[in-house]
Amino acid sequence: MPACSCHHTLPASFFSSPQFFSLPGNLLPELQEEPPSRIPFRTGLLTCTDITFPLFCFFVETARFNTSHLFLLFVQKIRFLGEDLIGKIAAGEVVENPASVVKELIENAIDAHASEIRIEVEEGGKKKITVSDNGSGMSAEDARIAWQRHTTSKISSADDLFAIKTLGFRGEALASIAAVSKLTILTRDSESETGIELHIENGKIVSERVCGMNAGTTIVVSQLFYNTPARLKHLKSERVELLRIVDVVVRYAIAMPQIRFTLSTEHGNVFTKNPDSDERAGLIPVIGLEGAKSLIKMGWKDGRVEISGYISKPEIQKSTSDYIYLYVNRRWFYSKNIVNAIRDACGESLMKGKYPIAIIFISVPFEDVDVNVHPAKTEVRFVDERSIINSIAGAVRAAFARHREHEAILREVHEKGAQQTLAVESTGTAAQPAVVKEAITAYAASHPAGIVEEKTKVKIRVIGQALNSYIIGEISQTSEAFSGKPFQEASPPEKPSGKNSLGVREGAESHLVIVDQHAACERIAYEALRNFEKVVKQELIVPLVVELTPKEAKTLEEYRELLASLGFEIEDFGLRTFTVRSVPSVASMIATKELFIEMLDSLGEGKAQDAEEKIEHVLKTIACKSAIKSGEPLSVEKMYEILNALYKCKLPFNCPHGRPTVLKYQKKDLDRMFLR
| Residue 218 domain flag | yes
Q: Are residues 485 and 589 part of one domain?
A: yes
Which pLDDT belongs to residue 363? 94
> Which is higher by pLDDT, 308 or 26?
308
Which pLDDT belongs to residue 163? 56
CATH number of the domain at 342, please: 3.30.230.10
pLDDT of 476 above 90: no
Which pLDDT belongs to residue 196? 95
Q: Are residues 87 and 42 part of one domain?
A: no
Q: Which pLDDT band, with edges at 50, 70 and 90, does 527 fall under?
A: confident
pLDDT of 27 above 60: no
pLDDT of 297 above 50: yes
Distance CA 346, CA 228 (A): 47
Q: Are residues 321 and 261 part of one domain?
A: no
3-state secondary structure 571-622: EECCCCEEEEEEEEHHHHHHCCHHHHHHHHHHHHCCCCCCHHHHHHHHHHHH
Share of the chain above pLDDT 90, in %: 28
Residues 460-464 have a mean pLDDT of 85
Q: Which residues pair with 261 in a beta bridge?
A: 117, 273
| Residue 415 domain flag | no
Which pLDDT belongs to residue 153? 61
Q: Are residues 69 and 92 part of one domain?
A: no
> How does pLDDT run across 60-71, given as a tens digit for each residue?
554 444 443 343
> Which is higher by pLDDT, 317 or 2?
317
| Residue 411 domain flag | no
Which pLDDT belongs to residue 8? 42
Question: Which residue among 44, 75, 106 closes a domain?
Answer: 75
| Residue 432 domain flag | no
Q: Are residues 508 and 472 part of one domain?
A: yes
| Residue 598 domain flag | yes
The winner for highest mean pLDDT among 25-29, 105-109, 268-272, 541-545 is: 105-109
| Residue 436 domain flag | no
pLDDT of 55 above 60: no
pLDDT of 320 above 70: yes
pLDDT of 135 above 90: yes
Q: Are residues 646 and 528 part of one domain?
A: yes
| Residue 601 domain flag | yes
> Do the beta carbons of residue 259 and residue 267 sit within 8 Å?
no
Which strand (E) or helix (H) includes residue 204? strand 204-211
Domain extent, residue 39, equals: 12-75
> How does pLDDT run across 229-247, given as a tens digit for each residue?
888 888 988 888 988 898 8
The winner for highest mean pLDDT among 2-11, 160-169, 568-577 is: 568-577
> Which is higher by pLDDT, 590 or 121?
121
pLDDT of 617 above 60: yes
Q: Are residues 465 and 401 part of one domain?
A: no
pTM of the model: 0.62
pLDDT of 416 above 70: no
Which pLDDT belongs to residue 289? 75
> Poorest-confidence range of 305-314, 544-553, 602-611?
602-611
The count of structural domains within the chain is: 4
Q: Are residues 311 and 200 part of one domain?
A: no
Q: Are residues 582 and 492 part of one domain?
A: yes
Question: Which residue among 35, 50, 75 closes a domain?
Answer: 75
pLDDT of 631 above 60: yes
CATH number of the domain at 610, please: 3.30.1370.100
Question: Which residue among 380, 406, 432 closes a domain?
Answer: 406
Q: Are residues 256 and 119 part of one domain?
A: yes
Q: Are residues 603 and 509 part of one domain?
A: yes
| Residue 278 domain flag | no
CATH number of the domain at 236, please: 3.30.565.10
β-pair type (537-547, 510-516): unpaired
pLDDT of 480 above 70: no
Which pLDDT belongs to residue 195? 95
Residue 189: phi and psi, rounded to 5, are -95, 170
> How does pLDDT run across 618-630, given as a tens digit for each residue?
788 778 877 888 9
Q: Are residues 300 and 237 part of one domain?
A: no
Distance CA 192, CA 550 (A): 40
> Do the beta carbons of residue 196 and residue 210 sit within 8 Å?
yes
Mean per-residue pLDDT over the chain, rounded: 74
